[in-house]
């Protein structure tokens, strides 16, 4: 018997995305699959679109946040396995079949998540850069993961309920609620599997401002805070040791570059840190070069440098708050 599976989509005014998301899910679904659409206070046609594709609609009168909407979706779902799909994600036709096979062949794992594909929906530089960066980290991350990803991830319903689901109170604004859920799953002895071959397309459009705001306030700051409060947690994906060394080298490079105007020999310090940064991230730059070419990769480098710089700033900010001021700063 195939385990029953529920696809839970939390949406807020995402009708323009659902026009591509829902047909793909309908094409991938089989007879043992249900679609649950948790409409988080939308004012557009999200619910109507869901009904067109046979989704069970859960209507929230006002916006409560994606974490809480997903929890409500799971409470109403009937499936033994819950697949979370963001409204701006388009699954492949074999997604459900692939997931069932993974859970059948690897029953020791309680959760599974995949990756964005290498062909993001938006063609502009910032959207391509941000989504391909996400793709790279999931393609090269440890197969036995320490975190979970709710954008395109599945979990056994029993395990989800056992740990209390997403923390909708702490994470009213979407940020790292899925990472935090992954940590609690691991604490309870559940295992999480990253499957790079399990891929979906991301439709989101990114801008320079949205990358900085999201990466700093909604990703780096709360993630660093969790790592500081849970030092026993193993670091994975873009929190690996190589990424921390890269952040240090990026800081040395920028400071040394500024110090050249004071002492000329700082040029060699800047050059050495730059070469070290490139060497440590050789696979990252090679990935972009092969997919997007030399000029695109040339534009990626300053964005990547900036990424390490604001990641370091987020660490300093969170460390000061947690270790010195004794307070938490998770965005609400």
Q: Is the pLDDT of residue 332 over 50?
A: no
243-246 contacts: CB < 8 A, separation 24 or more? 243/308, 243/311, 245/280, 246/277, 246/280, 246/281, 246/308
For 124-150, the pLDDT digits (tens) are: 999 999 999 999 999 998 999 989 999
Stretch among 36-45, 199-208, 232-241, 297-306 having the lowest mean pLDDT: 232-241
Q: Is the pLDDT of residue 244 over 60?
A: yes
Question: What is the Cα–Cα distance from 44 to 265, expressed in whole angstroms?
Answer: 60
Residue 199 vs residue 312, higher pLDDT: 199
Other C-beta atoms within 10 Å of 229: how many?
12
Average pLDDT value over all residues in the chain: 91
Question: What is the Cα–Cα distance from 57 to 39, expressed in whole angstroms?
Answer: 7
Domain range summary for the chain, segments of one domain joined by +: 5-206, 207-332
Q: Is domain 5-206 given the CATH code 3.90.550.10 in the classification? A: yes
213-217, 290-294, 311-315, 319-323: which has the highest mean pLDDT?
A: 290-294
Q: How confident is the model at residue 2 (pLDDT cuts 50, 70, 90)?
A: low
Q: Is the pLDDT of residue 331 over 50?
A: no
Residue 330 vs residue 261, higher pLDDT: 261
For 70-103, the pLDDT digits (tens) are: 999 999 999 999 999 999 999 999 999 999 999 9
Q: Among candidates 273, 284, 272, 271, which has minimal Cα distance to 240?
A: 284
Q: Give how far the C-alpha of residue 319 lies from the chain's centroid of Cα atoms, to the nearest Å.
A: 23
Q: How confident is the model at residue 204 (pLDDT cuts 50, 70, 90)?
A: very high
Beta-carbon-side half-sphere exposure of residue 301 (alpha carbons within 13 Å): 14
Question: What is the Cα–Cα distance from 77 to 7, expressed in whole angstroms?
Answer: 8
Q: Among candidates 127, 310, 319, 129, which has minimal Cα distance to 220?
A: 310
The percentage of residues in the chain with a pLDDT greater than 90, rounded to a whole number, is 68
Under 8 Å between Cβ of 58 and 138: no
Overall average pLDDT of the 4-22 stretch? 97
Q: Is the pLDDT of residue 255 over 60?
A: yes
| 3-state SS record for 276-300 | HHHHHCHHHHHHHHHHHCHHHHHHH
């Amino acid at each position: 018997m195939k385990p029953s599976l529920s696809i839970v989509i939390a949406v807020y005014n995402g009708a323009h995305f659902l026009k591509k998301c829902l047909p793909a899910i309908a094409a991938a679904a089989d007879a043992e699959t249900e679609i649950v659409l948790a409409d988080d206070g939308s004012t557009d046609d999200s619910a109507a679109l869901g009904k067109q594709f046979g989704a069970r609609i859960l209507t929230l009168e006002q916006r409560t946040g994606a974490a809480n909407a997903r929890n409500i979706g799971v409470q109403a779902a009937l499936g033994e396995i819950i697949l979370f799909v963001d409204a701006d994600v388009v699954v492949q036709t074999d997604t459900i079949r692939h997931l069932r096979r993974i859970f059948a062949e690897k029953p020791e794992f309680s959760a599974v998540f995949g990756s964005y594909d290498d062909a993001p929906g938006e063609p502009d530089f910032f959207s391509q850069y941000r989504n391909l960066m996400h793709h790279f980290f999931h393609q090269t991350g440890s197969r036995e993961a320490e975190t979970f990803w709710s954008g395109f991830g599945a979990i056994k319903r029993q395990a989800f309920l056992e740990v209390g689901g997403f923390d909708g109170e702490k994470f009213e604004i979407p940020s790292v609620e899925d990472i935090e859920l992954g940590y609690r799953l691991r604490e309870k002895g559940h295992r999480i599997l990253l499957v790079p071959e399990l891929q979906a397309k991301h439709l989101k459009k990114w801008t320079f401002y949205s990358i900085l705001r999201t990466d700093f306030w909604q990703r780096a700051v709360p993630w660093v805070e969790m790592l500081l409060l849970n030092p026993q947690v193993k670091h994975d994906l873009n929190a690996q040791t190589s990424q921390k060394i890269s952040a240090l080298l990026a800081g040395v490079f920028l400071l040394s570059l500024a110090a050249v105007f004071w002492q000329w020999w700082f040029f060699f310090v800047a050059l050495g840190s730059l070469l070290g940064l490139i060497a440590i991230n050789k696979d990252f730059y090679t990935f972009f070069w092969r997919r997007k070419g030399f000029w695109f990769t040339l534009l990626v480098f300053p964005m990547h440098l900036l990424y390490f710089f604001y990641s370091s700033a987020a660490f300093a900010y969170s460390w000061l708050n947690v270790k010195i001021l004794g307070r938490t700063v998770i965005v609400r």
